[in-house]
Structure 1
Amino acid sequence: MLKKILKRGWRPVLVLILLIMVWELASKLFAIQEWLLPAPSSIGQEAIAGWGDYKHHLGATIQLSMMGFVIGSSVGIVVAVCLHLVPVLREALYPLLIISQNIPIIILAPLLVVWFGFGILPKIIVITLVCFFPITIAVLDGFRQTSGELKHYMEMAGANKRQIFYKLEWPHALPSLFSGLKIAATYSVMGAVISEWLGASEGMGYYMTLASSSFRTDRVFVAILFIVTLSLLFFALLSYAERKVVKTPAQQED
């Protein structure tokens, strides 16, 4: 597995290094002002020197993202299971799920602050709204793609609906579940940052707002760097968990 990662992963790393080198060279060659577009070296220096200023903001965003992700994932799984087991609910509520994703979060978030104040509740609601939908849709697709022949065979063998669900449909939906979880993990960080933009006293979104208002573009890029890194870390952890939980024939050969 490690050999495959090293074999396939060097290309994007090389491209990223080349982009950083071109960025650094262009910043020096064209004498671009720091407030407009800082060089990567300046961003790196600020990331190290300013650690004491933003480390608690980073910790607040991590905590908020994880809480929202856990709650949003739980809601998404419960909704998917309920819609799958109760077809009447699916027919009635599925269109509303689609409609809920057409409401811009950037518009809804201020209303949540008005309704629920500046505490943690509106932030959790924002993250839950952006997380539950991809999980619900992914799990429902996993249930739908369950082999009809296997299901018919279990029914002929006398299995009830509960046994069919736990022994066939749920295991079959696990790959789809992890696909939804990986998408939701990145969305949770985005949702946390958006909620911090609109009403918070800490967090990377709040830190970015202060940095941009004072024209500290280097700090804005530092925040972006840590936000992207956090999203990738969440994605990698879930990919690792998927490999441990869901075993494919190709993985078993490894």
Structure 2
Amino acid sequence: MKKYGPAALIVLFLFGLWELVSRIINLPFIFPPPSGVAVRFWELKETLVLDHLPSTLAIILLGLAISIVLGVSLAVWMVMSETAERAFYPLVISSQMIPTIALAPIFIMFFGYGIWSKVVVTVLITFFPITVNTFDGLKSSSRELRELMLTMGGTKKDIFFKVQVPSAKPHFFSGLKVAVTLSVIGAAIGEWLGAQSGLGYFSRRMMTQFDGAAVFAPIVLLSVVGIALFLIVKIMESKSMKWRKLK
């Protein structure tokens, strides 16, 4: 616990400062204190957890799954083919030049207010770190090891699975840890702009009712979801790379 002591103290200080400033301003419908958010969260816990959390989780998990499959597949293809790298790598970079929030209304217009418009937004946000990190990891494998495998009679398949994949694992998990946190943002953005359920939708609905504490309550739950997903990925990373000492 000593390792996380400084971070815990900083968090407590920030929450204390938030509480103090909120009490001084005394505008709870705009800037509610943390204690008010906690009380409101407890009052709304069943609605948030049972009615809206499943919708948001479905968007996050589906978007992440699609991003992992497409991102890793494209990264492998670009490593194997210089033509594919020249064709797709600039497009992958360019996809991040346009603000996602500007494209979200277009996706809603195309796919409607169902789950797929929000999934597309999530994929667009999470696809980039997974693809680029995996690609860089596969490209960073030791040239000496690849040449040694060839001299020992190794095939391209052997080199890929025994040299390039282990080299890419740390990069892949780094990208995935970024992606899981961004997936929460993507799902929330999609639900804010158009949805019939979900934590982002609930927060926007409470904003129209000037219920500041209820606006913050689903945001707290979104933060918990993001932290939980990050920790799950970190555990997966630790289990799949026991040779690497993770701090």
What is the CA-CA distance between 1:26 and the residue it aligns to?
3.2
The count of residues paired between Structure 1 and Structure 2 equals 246
Instruction: State the alpha-carbon separation in 2 of the partners of residues 207 and 97 from structure 1.
Output: 33
Q: Which residue of structure 2 lines up, in the alignment, with residue 163 of structure 1?
A: 158
Equivalent of 2:2, from 1, 7, 10? 7
What is the CA-CA distance between 1:31 and the residue it aligns to?
5.0
Instruction: State the alpha-carbon separation in 2 of the partners of residues 76 and 170 from structure 1.
Output: 15
Q: Which residue of structure 2 lines up, in the alignment, with residue 123 of structure 1?
A: 118
What is the CA-CA distance between 1:250 and the residue it aligns to?
3.4
Q: Which residue of structure 2 lines up, in the alignment, with residue 3 of structure 1?
A: none
Q: Which residue of structure 1 lines up, in the alignment, with residue 192 of structure 2?
A: 197
Report if aligned partners of 1:123, 1:196 keep a CA contact under 8 Å in 2: yes
Instruction: State the alpha-carbon separation in 1 of the partners of residues 72 and 244 from structure 2.
Output: 26
Equivalent of 1:214, from 179, 193, 209? 209
How far does the alpha carbon of each residue in 1:72-122 deviate from its partner, in whole angstroms, 9 at most, with x for none?
111111110111111111011111111111121111111112122222222
How far does the alpha carbon of each residue in 1:128-182 deviate from its partner, in whole angstroms, 9 at most, with x for none?
1111110111011111211111011001111111111011101111111100111
Instruction: State the alpha-carbon separation in 1 of the partners of residues 177 and 36 from structure 2.
Output: 32
Instruction: State the alpha-carbon separation in 1 of the partners of residues 61 and 242 from structure 2.
Output: 26
Instruction: State the alpha-carbon separation in 2 of the partners of residues 92 and 19 from structure 1.
Output: 47
Matches within 5 A, 1:46-125: 46-55=40-49, 56-125=51-120
Tell whether 2:237 aligns with 1:230.
Answer: no
What is the CA-CA distance between 1:249 and the residue it aligns to?
4.8
What is the CA-CA distance between 1:53 and the residue it aligns to?
2.7
Instruction: State the alpha-carbon separation in 1 of the partners of residues 225 and 11 from structure 2.
Output: 18
Cα 1:7–1:26 change in 2 (3 A) is same
Report if aligned partners of 2:113, 2:196 keep a CA contact under 8 Å in 1: no
Report if aligned partners of 2:203, 2:218 keep a CA contact under 8 Å in 1: yes
* Percentage of identical aligned residues: 35
Letter in 2 for 1:67: L
TM-score by length of 2: 0.95
Any stretches of 5+ residues in structure 1 without a counterpart? 1-5
Report if aligned partners of 1:76, 1:131 keep a CA contact under 8 Å in 2: no
Letter in 2 for 1:32: N
Letter in 2 for 1:224: I
Report if aligned partners of 1:142, 1:176 keep a CA contact under 8 Å in 2: yes
Letter in 1 for 2:34: P
Instruction: State the alpha-carbon separation in 2 of the partners of residues 36 and 114 from structure 1.
Output: 31
What is the CA-CA distance between 1:25 and the residue it aligns to?
2.9
Instruction: State the alpha-carbon separation in 2 of the partners of residues 19 and 9 from structure 1.
Output: 16
Equivalent of 2:175, from 168, 177, 180? 180
Q: Which residue of structure 1 lines up, in the alignment, with residue 36 of structure 2?
A: 42
Instruction: State the alpha-carbon separation in 1 of the partners of residues 124 and 111 from structure 2.
Output: 15
Report SS of the residue matched to 1:248: coil
Equivalent of 2:236, from 241, 250, 253? 241
Cα 1:22–1:247 change in 2 (3 A) is same
Tell whether 2:16 aligns with 1:21.
Answer: yes
Instruction: State the alpha-carbon separation in 1 of the partners of residues 73 and 221 from structure 2.
Output: 31
RMSD: 1.5
What is the CA-CA distance between 1:66 and the residue it aligns to?
1.0
Letter in 1 for 2:5: W
What is the CA-CA distance between 1:59 and the residue it aligns to?
2.1
Instruction: State the alpha-carbon separation in 2 of the partners of residues 31 and 98 from structure 1.
Output: 44
TM-score by length of 1: 0.92
